[in-house]
């Protein structure tokens, strides 16, 4: 089912354009900033652009279930013999999974622009990339379960991008708000994935500590997502207080 939904996702030109434009625009902005300051670009510019691109695609999870309702297919997913979680998981996972393409896209664009590449180990890239995918996935589950309760979910997709990028520390956290933002950022799974990827040049104890924290926080978000999906299922199939059509 994931392969099926992923194929449908990839055939939608909007999602493809969203991945390309969000990734390439962030990379271009970093390159322009480096030229303007007459200093070499950061060797992690492609990683930062890829992470923003991946999260940008993942935010469409807010409206995916609502879009299924608009198409008239949500009722069939909810009333199938399988549980609601098992039918919705492949649908929601298609966004974060397609977003993985943002990392190689950013790397290829950085190579074309002749931007520097910071040293990064294969193990660090694999573990950090997997952790980033998992963290985007569990956030997508929570977001999708929350926003299915409103018919205007697609309207709010854009509002999810900047706060999560800020909390994740992809471009650092401004000193003026660090005192209260930094503690909150530890509760966001992508924060630890970002730190692991940016520090993947050396796979040391700090790297594995970040990866472990990321897994723990992601597990907590996954538990919250399961609880929310069960609430949604109860409202839709037993209480009749959530419209599926």
pLDDT 10s digits, 141-186: 888 877 776 666 566 666 776 777 778 878 777 777 778 777 888 8
pLDDT digits (tens, 9 = 90+) for 107-153: 999 999 888 888 888 888 999 999 999 999 998 888 887 777 666 65
- Residues, the chain, total? 245
Spatial contact of 110 and 117, defined as CB atoms under 8 Å apart: yes
72 in the Ramachandran plot: left (φ > 0), alpha (ψ -120 to 50) or beta? left
pTM of the model: 0.86
Of 102, 93, 98, residue with least CA distance to 20 = 102
């Amino acid at each position: 089912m994931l392969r099926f939904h992923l194929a449908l996702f990839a055939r939608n030109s909007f999602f493809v354009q969203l991945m390309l434009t969000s990734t390439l625009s962030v990379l271009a902005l970093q390159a322009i900033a480096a030229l303007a300051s007459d200093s070499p670009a950061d060797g992690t510019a492609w990683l930062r652009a890829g992470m923003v691109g991946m999260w940008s695609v993942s935010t469409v999870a807010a409206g995916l279930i609502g879009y299924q309702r608009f198409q008239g297919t949500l009722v069939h997913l909810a009333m199938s013999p399988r549980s609601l979680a098992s039918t919705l998981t492949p649908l929601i996972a298609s966004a974060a999974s397609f977003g993985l393409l943002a990392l190689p896209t950013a790397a290829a664009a950085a190579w074309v622009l002749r931007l520097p590449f910071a040293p990064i180990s294969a193990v660090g890239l694999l573990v950090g990339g997997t952790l980033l995918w998992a963290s985007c996935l569990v956030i997508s589950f929570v977001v999708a379960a929350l926003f299915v309760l409103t018919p205007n979910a697609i309207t709010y997709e854009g509002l999810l991008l900047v706060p999560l990028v800020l909390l994740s520390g992809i471009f650092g956290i401004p000193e003026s708000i660090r005192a209260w933002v930094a503690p909150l950022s530890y509760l966001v799974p992508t924060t630890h994935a970002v730190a692991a990827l940016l520090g993947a040049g050396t796979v040391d104890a700090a790297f594995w500590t970040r990866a472990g924290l990321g897994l723990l926080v992601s597990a907590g978000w996954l538990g919250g997502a399961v609880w929310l999906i069960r609430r949604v299922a109860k409202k839709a199939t037993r209480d009749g207080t959530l419209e599926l059509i």
